[in-house]
Amino acid sequence: AWLPVAWGALTVIPVYLLGSHLRGRAMGLGAACLYALLPIAIEYSRVGNADHHAAAGLLGAILLLLYSEFLGPDARGARLVWIAAGLALTRAALLGTWHGSLLYVALGEVAIVLYGVARNRSDVLMAETASVLVSAGLAALLVAATPTPIAGPWSATELSHLHLLAFTLAAVVSTLCVALQRFHPLLSPGWRVARA
């Protein structure tokens, strides 16, 4: 009964961190207060609400924070590896909590690939490849453990083979972008993005 309350309360932490990283502590506090006072956030995190929305909100906020960290200038070396590992686990947890989150995850993956290509960051692209492959492996365990979705094995609204295909495609595109830049380098970020 108290888990939604805990998840709702914990969500203000990644919301604060995201706001403070983007625009400073005042923005972080403002974002956390705004989230905490949203009627929908209050409703989803009330005592006894047995739905998944409070957990999905927490995982979505963590995912958004990690995506923004992945795209930051400090994401290099060991820090990049830790961010990628956190993304892999958070993606899988979000898919296990809310199967319809594939659309939001896909937008984040596209942003990472385009950033890596535009900035000519093969380290970001290879970290993305490893991260989504780990997420695909974890999601595959979930897909194997659940019955075939009502909408079929390629359902977009239930955990299915479509989720595994999306992660695999993100890994393939990231890896191909690195290979193309290595063997046929383009100097212009615009041309690299167009090629991707």
Query: How confident is the prediction along the chain (196 residues), in pLDDT tens digits per residue?
Result: 888 999 999 999 999 999 999 899 999 999 999 999 999 888 888 888 888 889 999 999 999 999 999 888 889 999 999 999 999 999 999 988 887 778 778 889 999 999 999 999 999 999 999 999 999 999 999 889 888 888 888 887 788 898 899 999 999 999 999 999 999 999 999 999 999 9
The residue length of the chain stands at 196
- pLDDT for residue 53: 87
